[in-house]
Chains A and B, each alone.
Chain A
Amino acid sequence: MSAVFWILAALTVLGGVAAVTLKNTVHCALAVTVAFAGLALLYLQLDAQFAGFAQILVYIGAVAILVVFAILLTSGSETPKQGIFSRSWFTGMIIAAAVFAVLGWAVIQRIQALPHETAAPSVTVNQIGNALLGRYVLPLEIVALLLTAALVGAVIVAMHEKGESK
Chain B
Amino acid sequence: MTPLGGYLLVAALVFAIGLAGALTRRNAILVLIGIELMLNAANLNLIAFWRYGPHPELLTGMMFAVFSIAVAAAEAAVGLGLVISVYRHTRTTDLDEMNRMKG
Contact = CB atoms under 8 A, between A and B. Distances in A.
Contact of B37 (A19, A46, A100): A19
Interface in A78-117: 80, 82-89, 91-93, 95-97, 99-100, 103-104, 107-108, 111-112, 114-117
A127 B6 contact: no
Nearest to A17: B17
Contacts of A103: 12, 15-16
A35 B78 CA distance: 22
A16 B30 contact: no
A58 B93 contact: no
A56 to B, nearest CB: 11
Interface string B1-35: 11111111110111111111111111101101110
Contact of B70 (A35, A58, A114): A58
Q: Is the interface of A mostly helix, strand, loop or mixed?
A: helix
Interface in B54-68: 56-57, 59, 62-63, 65-67
B47 A48 contact: yes
A147 B67 CA distance: 11
A47 B80 CA distance: 32
Interface residues of A, number: 86
A86 B30 CA distance: 12
A91 B67 contact: no
A5 B2 CA distance: 12
Contact of B25 (A75, A84, A131, A146): A84
Contacts of B25: 20, 84-86
19 contacts: A1-B1, A19-B17, A20-B18, A20-B21, A20-B34, A46-B50, A59-B40, A59-B69, A70-B84, A73-B87, A92-B22, A95-B23, A97-B16, A115-B52, A136-B67, A147-B70, A150-B73, A153-B81, A160-B88
Interface of B: 1-10, 12-27, 29-30, 32-34, 36-37, 40, 43-44, 47-48, 50-53, 56-57, 59, 62-63, 65-67, 69-78, 80-85, 87-88, 92-96
